[in-house]
Structure 1
Amino acid sequence: MQHFLSTFLYVIAALIPMVNPLSGSIFFLSLTSDLGPRERAWLAARVAIYSFILIEISVYAGVFILNFFGISIDVLRVAGGLVLASAGWKAISSFGGGEKKSESRGSDEPLEKEHFEQRAFFPLTLPLMVGPGAMSVCTAIGTTLPTTFANTLGLNLASAALCIGIWVCFRYAGQISKRLGAAGADAIVKVFSFILICIGIQVLWAGFSGLWTELARTSLAFLAK
């Protein structure tokens, strides 16, 4: 029981700063401003499920997948940073007219899932919630944590609890918009869309710095010969 609790708390503490469902719900609201409540509810459930699957894959097979394709963590960061910055730019540029498409949608309109279901995995799950940082942490956990029943149970339940938190935060993100009002929600979306661009650039820079350092180390080693 002690090993289970320690593993559970360890995984939660390690992944919460990387995933951060509460702040992610604001970004979710920014990237789904053109959707109605039912579409957001559907996406919230899908993002939670996809996040759990991606976390589990990263824990148990992350190293093998990256090695198989010859992808480094820094390359993953560069790609993830580009996607986040692009998503933030699209979100902030969609508010040029000051009106949100979701306001013109009726609650009784039929759902057209082909217009929004593709967002569930990309970019809402990857790289927004389970990005390069979270994947690298999951990979490190999977390679360092001893393989025991208690550790495995604690790891899986911690991943499930985290993804339930994602669902709760995303599911009720629309309530934030209602409480803030149209003007307040518009301002919040713009601010967090800009922050999302900054986060993407920061992730991109971290990956670029790592690649540049590796290039310099390789060049020095080659010249030393």
Structure 2
Amino acid sequence: MSASLQTYVLALSALFSIVNPLGSAFIVSTVIAGRAHAERVQLAGKIAFYSLIVMLVALWGGAYVLSFFGISLSALRISGGLVVAINAWSLLQAPETTEARKQQQAAEAEGIDAVAFFPLTIPFTTGPGTIAVAITLGSNRPYAGEEALGFVLGVSAAALTVAAIVWLTYSFADRIEAMLGRSKAQVVSRLAAFLLLCVGTQIALSGVADFVRSLR
């Protein structure tokens, strides 16, 4: 139980920081601004479900995919971190342009099902950075004994928790934004984008450090 709890806390902090549900919720709220609250809640449930599936698949199948294609974890971390950092930088530099582009993509899709998976789940919520972090977590799992079971339970519970937070924040993002006001919501979005830039940079640096160690 102690090992499962430690794994849960570690995985939760890693997945929560990269998914960034609150910051992403404000962006998604802007993208789907023309939809009714009931439709937003339904859409949030679908995004949360799809996000959970993406995280679980990356956790338990991602390492095998990397092995099949001969891709190292360091290469995954570097590429995933760079993608996250670049996207976060674009949000910091021109958030209005980025939100307008995302809103246009969402508006072009017809119906909730069409827009829930792409682009609101991938790449808005669980993009390359989340997949890279999940694969890295899954590749560190033990393969036998009680430690393996504790790891599976802990990491899976962390993914489920993050998905639940995504559902809550996305469902009530419009009301949170109305309570804060548009200007304060934009400040929160900017802070979230900066934190995301830091997370992406850290992922890339970890990949570079792993690559250097492998050369030695």
Alignment TM-score > 0.5, same fold: yes
Alignment of 1:69-108 (within 5 A): 69-95=69-95
Name the counterpart of 1:18. 14
Structure 1-normalised TM-score?
Answer: 0.69
Name the counterpart of 1:124. 125
Alignment of 1:28-177 (within 5 A): 28-29=24-25, 31-32=27-28, 34-37=30-33, 38=35, 41=41, 44-95=44-95, 111-113=107-109, 117-128=118-129, 130-141=130-141, 143=143, 146=146, 159-177=159-177
* CA apart distance, 1:57: 2.3
Query: Are the counterparts in 1 of residues 92 and 190 from structure 2 also a CA contact under 8 Å?
Result: yes
Instruction: Give the aligned residue type for 1:125.
Output: T
Structure 2-normalised TM-score?
Answer: 0.71
* CA apart distance, 1:135: 2.4
Deviates more, 1:189-198 or 1:39-48: 39-48
**SS of the residue aligned with 2:184?**
helix
* CA apart distance, 1:193: 1.4
Percent identity (aligned): 24
Per the alignment, do residues 210 and 58 of structure 1 end up closer, same or farther by CA in structure 2, a change over 3 Å counting? same
Question: 1-side partners of 2:96 and 2:157: how far apart?
Answer: 43
Q: Does the alignment pair 1:27 with 2:28? A: no
Per the alignment, do residues 52 and 212 of structure 1 end up closer, same or farther by CA in structure 2, a change over 3 Å counting? same
Question: 1-side partners of 2:144 and 2:58: how far apart?
Answer: 13
Query: Are the counterparts in 1 of residues 11 and 158 from structure 2 also a CA contact under 8 Å?
Result: no
* CA apart distance, 1:70: 1.0
**Structure with bigger gyration radius:** 1
Structure 2 unaligned spans of 5+: none
What's the CA shift string for 1:35-67, capped at 9, x where partnerless? 124486566334422332233323433332221
What's the CA shift string for 1:110-132, capped at 9, x where partnerless? 9532796324212421235x342
Q: How many residues align?
A: 204
Structure 1 unaligned spans of 5+: 218-225
**SS of the residue aligned with 1:32?**
helix
**SS of the residue aligned with 1:120?**
helix
What's the CA shift string for 1:139-194, capped at 9, x where partnerless? 32363565999987787566434422332233323333222101111222122212
Query: Are the counterparts in 2 of residues 52 and 159 from structure 1 also a CA contact under 8 Å?
Result: yes
Pairwise CA RMSD of aligned residues? 3.8
- Normalized per residue, the structure richer in helix is 2
Deviates more, 1:62-71 or 1:142-151: 142-151
Question: 1-side partners of 2:200 and 2:24: how far apart?
Answer: 15
